[in-house]
Amino acid sequence: MSDSSEDGPTYHYTFDPSLQDPVYDVVETIADLEGVEVDELPSVHETVDGMVDNVFSNPPAPEAQVEVSFTYAGYRIRLHQDGNATFIKVA
């Protein structure tokens, strides 16, 4: 799904963190959006340094509604602990 914002298009996705590493889902999604291969993107681990893994490997109570935001490969990304994600294209 796509919306538009001041920065650029906004895309909404839902990931299942129990099936695959959410960091890989992020990289795979951006590769699809940009029409490139995953290995053409910069290392996401240099950007988030395990932060995303910590939220999903040992999540807090659902009531905490934890959200992680970061910029990677030209997108502002918000990942929610429930697996919902928003990607906003930035300059």
Q: Enter the DSSP assignment of 29.
A: H
Quote the domain boundaries for residue 71.
2-89
**C-alpha to C-alpha distance for 61 and 79, rounded to whole angstroms:** 16
Is it the case that residue 15 has pLDDT exceeding 80?
Answer: yes
Q: What percent of the chain has pLDDT over 90?
A: 46
Number of domains in the chain: 1
Name the more confident of 64 and 30.
30
pLDDT digits (tens, 9 = 90+) for 46-69: 778 677 777 777 777 878 778 899
Name the more confident of 53 and 2.
53
C-beta separation of 6 from 86 below 8 A: no
Is it the case that residue 25 has pLDDT exceeding 60?
Answer: yes
**C-alpha to C-alpha distance for 82 and 56, rounded to whole angstroms:** 9
